[in-house]
């Protein structure tokens, strides 16, 4: 099963994908993590990607797609995977369909997350991530703070703010880019009949964990019954 997470930055894609991954054993494939790994290892693709990320711009397909293809070809993604952060455009979605067809797979479920813009900006400004690359647990100093300020509950490593989360203007630009280039994916997957839209917001008291638990139940029920999602 191939699951795709859609939604602007800060909607909780990573959190929801992580919970689903734990419950299904499908690897969570995050383009953000792939980018950071390549950047830290100073690969050729990583160096190119860093130039775009630093400016709050989308990384071009000729850089992103090869990274994702390499990850999908790894053994742990053989039975299923959760794509978090890819595709971001309809062009990428079409390319992904080609890739999956060649692998004998298809997109089974697309989870589209929606959150008010003002709430998204505040979430990203107050988001903190564990600096331990083997942990990478995400916190929010308002909504989900660590027990000890600045310290990860799970591994004790220092929490840091991602560089692209520290500037409200850059965040707003990223959200604008999402609206312009990524929103058409909702229509693309809706036409394919695999779209599931969920609102995640404190205003309705429905957070990522609630959404993830409902989706996991539906996935397991579908699997037991042998039905399509």
Which residues carry out catalysis? 13, 88, 127, 162, 173
Q: Calculate the dihedral angle through the C-alpha atoms of 126, 129, 130, 131, rounding to the nearest 10 degrees.
A: -110
Chain Cα centroid distance, residue 134: 17
Closest CA to 115 of 196, 185, 200: 200
Indicate the burial class of 37 (C-beta count within 10 angstroms; 0-12, 13-18, 19 or more).
middle
User: How far is 223 from 225, CA to CA, in rounded Å?
Assistant: 5
CB 61, CB 97: distance < 8 Å: no
Please report the DSSP string for 7-23 in residue order: --TTSSHHHHHHHHHHH
Q: List phi, psi (to 5°) of 154.
A: -80, -40
């Amino acid at each position: 099963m191939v699951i795709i997470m859609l939604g602007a930055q800060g909607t909780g894609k990573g959190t929801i994908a992580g919970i689903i991954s734990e419950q299904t054993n499908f690897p969570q494939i995050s383009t953000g993590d792939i980018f950071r790994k390549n950047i830290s290892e100073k690969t050729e693709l990583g160096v190119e990607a860093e130039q775009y990320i630093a400016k709050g711009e989308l990384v071009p397909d000729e850089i992103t797609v090869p990274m994702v293809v390499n990850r999908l070809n790894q053994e742990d993604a053989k039975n299923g995977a959760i794509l978090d952060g890819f595709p971001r455009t309809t062009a990428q979605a079409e390319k992904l369909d080609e890739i999956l067809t060649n692998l004998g797979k298809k997109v089974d479920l697309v989870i589209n997350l929606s959150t008010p813009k003002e709430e998204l900006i505040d979430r990203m400004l107050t988001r903190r991530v564990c600096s331990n690359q083997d942990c990478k647990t995400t916190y929010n100093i308002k909504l989900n703070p660590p027990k000890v300020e600045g310290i990860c509950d799970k591994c004790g490593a220092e929490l840091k703010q991602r560089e692209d989360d520290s500037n409200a203007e850059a965040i707003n630009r990223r959200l604008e880019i999402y609206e312009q280039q990524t929103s058409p994916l909702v229509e693309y997957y809706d036409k394919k009949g695999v779209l599931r839209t969920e609102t995640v917001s404190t205003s309705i008291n429905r957070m990522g964990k609630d959404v993830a638990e409902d989706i996991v139940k539906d996935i397991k029920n579908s699997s037991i019954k042998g039905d399509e999602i």
